[in-house]
Amino acid sequence: MLTGIKATVTGEAIGPTQAIDPVRKRPARPKQGTTIITVTALVAIVLVATLVAVFNADRTPPATRPAPSAHYDIVFPNDVPLAFVGSAMLGNGRRAFAISPDGQTIVYVGVEDGVHRLYLRPTSGHEVNAIQGTENAFGPFFSPDGNWIGYFVENQLMKVRVAGGGAVLVTEAPNSAGADWSTMNEIILAIAEGDFLLRVSADGKNKDVIAERVGTLFPDRVGNRVLVGGWRAASFIDLETGAAQNLGIDSGEARYRRGFVFFTKIGSNDLFASRVDLPTMTVSTTHVPVLAGLRVEVYGQGQWAVSTEGTLLYAEGSATASNPMVWVADTGPIDALSLPVRDRGTFELSPDGTRLAVEERTGGESDVWVYELETGQSRKLTRDGISSGPLVWMPDGNGLIYHSRDEGRAYFVGRAHLLDLGLGATPQTLFDETLISSISADATRYGVEHLDGRIAVIDATTMEETIIPTLGEINWGTALSPLGNAVVYTSAESGVYHLYLQPVPPTGERIQISLTGGAEEPRWSPDGSTIYYRNGQKIMKASASFDPDIRVGAPEVFYDGTFVNVGGRSYDIAPDQSRALVIKDPVDTTTSLRVITNW
């Protein structure tokens, strides 16, 4: 019999320990309306009740009957809710909570008085305890023995004892994409947005690169392999050789549990499972949905966690890239676009601001749609799938540049195409293995980036290429000024993303625009007087002038609010610069998680 549906967990609360040093300790207040059963919960109840009935049939020996599964809510204080994105770098949602292996303790990213830090809450009590010294933490995870919590702060991997004590730096982890603490007392982590997979000892003394340039996200160690999600498909990666075995699963995140691979699909809010044969690293082609209505972040990380003994926690919600597109200004949201509910990626307003080109994903494929903003009429421009590279309108609004994927590569753009918007037009291939991210106002120059990290400006007539001298291997996101006389780009030369400007042709002058790390997605105003960029959940702007010397003003906040960071570009500025278009995340916190015991 199922009990505790939509009820608050009760029991003995964890008392304060000498080492936790709580900022505040208080009982979690129950949510209003906790007796209402949601559709998701009702479906889960019916499924579990059916399974329990089958296992408890008279023909089943009592010794083999599974324990009953209970469903209920576990709540957090209203003034310390769980924060999904919190302080995560680049504004990408990361897993915001974890459950200890024994199922007794939850660690979560909470926000109190505008500050994000880690909090502990028992599964059998009400009180929460803040862990001092974990401000701006994100992506928490437990050690296998449950005595430590690993987490990230900005571009560092940290750890702290559950029993208390000061936070300890493990290693630098720029632009992290998840980690897993193995029974070998090693931490496997993805950095540089999945470009590199590392193995580091828990004390931080030993570190080596397992694999690179294979698009690894959210690692989960399985024996002598690591299961990772990816930009295209989940893979097993050998810890010794770095060789990747593609599992053929379209997955942003994948985790191994008891003979199954559980995975989320980018753009879906369902959790799926497929049986896996570890010796051969092959996965069944039958993908069974096991959980509906899950909060899933843009790159596919699902907000769920399960303990060793089988207690499942998950946050209800949607695929965040399916959220509404809205106009925003410094005063907040202005108006929402009336568009179909679809999973969206990079987008771009036409030069006159009357149309919107946007990447939309259906059935595992991405294509370009164009919407007339005044009438809402839409048109699908591509049929064969695209990559998540930026979309670039031709200055006259009659053509659109998009990128297709090279099937031989894990995640990088293969070809740049120009599509005339006339009906029946055939795309013209412009470049192979080159991404076009901007164009001058007279359409004579392209701002591009290459697979090897070089950025350049290419003459559209002669195809002559001018390489922009950069430092480091990770440089991308070129934004060519309207006059074509300067280029702004993102570089990780300092270890974190910053924005830099150089004149075209290069003179050796180089100006850093951003003041804090995490700057990306540069854009120019149509008149070339303002540079815009995204820094986490902020849209920034800086003035620019060229008469006679290049001058860039101090960055200012154009918009500060919750919006979704998608691949490519996550915002655009209206031609009159009065507002910005973003994918709004209306639910950035929650005060409860769903619980399923004996999962």
pLDDT in tens, 114-172: 999 999 999 988 899 999 999 999 999 999 999 999 999 999 999 999 998 999 999 99
Helix H or strand E encompassing 332? strand 332-336
Position 7 pLDDT exceeds 70: no
State how far Cα 107 lies from the chain centre.
20
pLDDT of residue 64: 56
Report DSSP state, residue 91: G
Minimum mean pLDDT range among 16-25, 297-306, 385-394? 16-25
CA separation for the pair 570, 478 (Å, rounded): 15
| pLDDT at res. 570 | 94
Mean per-residue pLDDT, 283-307: 91
Is residue 127 within 8 Å of 22, Cβ to Cβ? no
Strands (E), 154-215: 156-161, 168-172, 179-181, 186-191, 196-201, 207-212
What does the pLDDT average to over 191-197? Answer: 90
Residue 502 pLDDT exceeds 70: yes
pLDDT at 66: 65
Beta strand 271-277 with 288-291 is antiparallel
CA torsion 456→529→358→317, rounded to 10°? Answer: 110
Task: Return the pLDDT at 470.
Answer: 94
Mean pLDDT (whole number) for 48-65? 42
Q: Which residues contact 35 (CB under 8 A, 6 or more apart)?
A: 6, 7
Higher pLDDT, 135 or 11: 135
Q: How high is the pLDDT of residue 31? A: 37
Residue range 65-94, pLDDT digits in tens = 667 888 999 999 999 999 999 988 888 889
Find where tokens 């004579």 sit: 444
Report helix, strand or coil for 321: helix
| Identity of residue 360 | E
Average pLDDT, rounded, for the chain: 85
Provide, rounded to the nearest whole percent, the portion of the chain with pLDDT above 90: 60
Torsion of CA 213, 217, 218, 223, to 10 degrees: -50
Task: Tell whether the model's pLDDT for residue 395 goes beyond 70.
Answer: yes
145, two tokens: 């023995």
Q: What is the pLDDT of residues 539-580, one digit of tens each?
A: 999 999 998 889 999 999 999 988 999 888 999 999 999 999
How far is the C-alpha of 440 from the C-alpha of 527, rounded, in Å? 11
